[in-house]
Amino acid sequence: DAGVIQSPRHEVTEMGQEVTLRCKPISGHDYLFWYRQTMMRGLELLIYFNNNVPIDDSGMPEDRFSAKMPNASFSTLKIQPSEPRDSAVYFCASSFMGWDSYNEQFFGPGTRLTVL
């Protein structure tokens, strides 16, 4: 398996523009997580899905952020409108509820977002 795939790897945009980040989880995984990492706040969980259903979105900073998972192999994180404070590395991770992988999440390479 290729692991978790994220696109784009880098995104530079201007304030006010819409940004869409994409994630393809590992095949067979039933959990998908979106994280954001900044120097100031570290690594934060934004939202996670189980079997394509959002379970907890309490980490989503505000209404400008939305996430969808239309099927088991694809998820998007959208920011509209984007602001400079949204600049961060966004990670997608997936996992499978197995007896020996209780807390093991597999992270993608991340998308580095810069909002000017």
Partner 1 sequence: LAKTTQPISMDSYEGQEVNITCSHNNIATNDYITWYQQFPSQGPRFIIQGYKTKVTNEVASLFIPADRKSSTLSLPRVSLSDTAVYYCLVNTGFQKLVFGTGTRLLVSP
Cβ 28 to partner 1, closest distance in Å?
A: 15
Identify which of 4, 33, 17 has the alpha carbon closest to the alpha carbon of residue 113: 17
| Paired strand residues for 31 | 50, 95
Cβ 11 to partner 1, closest distance in Å?
A: 15
Q: Quick one: 33 or 65, whose CB is closer to partner 1?
A: 33
Q: Quick one: 58 or 71, whose CB is closer to partner 1?
A: 58
Q: Quick one: 74 or 107, whose CB is closer to partner 1?
A: 107
Rounded to 5 degrees, φ, ψ at 36 are -130, 135
Cβ 81 to partner 1, closest distance in Å?
A: 27
Q: Quick one: 82 or 95, whose CB is closer to partner 1?
A: 95
Binding region for partner 1 (CB under 8 A): 4, 31, 33, 42-45, 48, 55-56, 59, 91, 93, 95, 97, 102-110
For residue 25, say if its preceding peptide bond is cis, omega within 30 degrees of 0. no
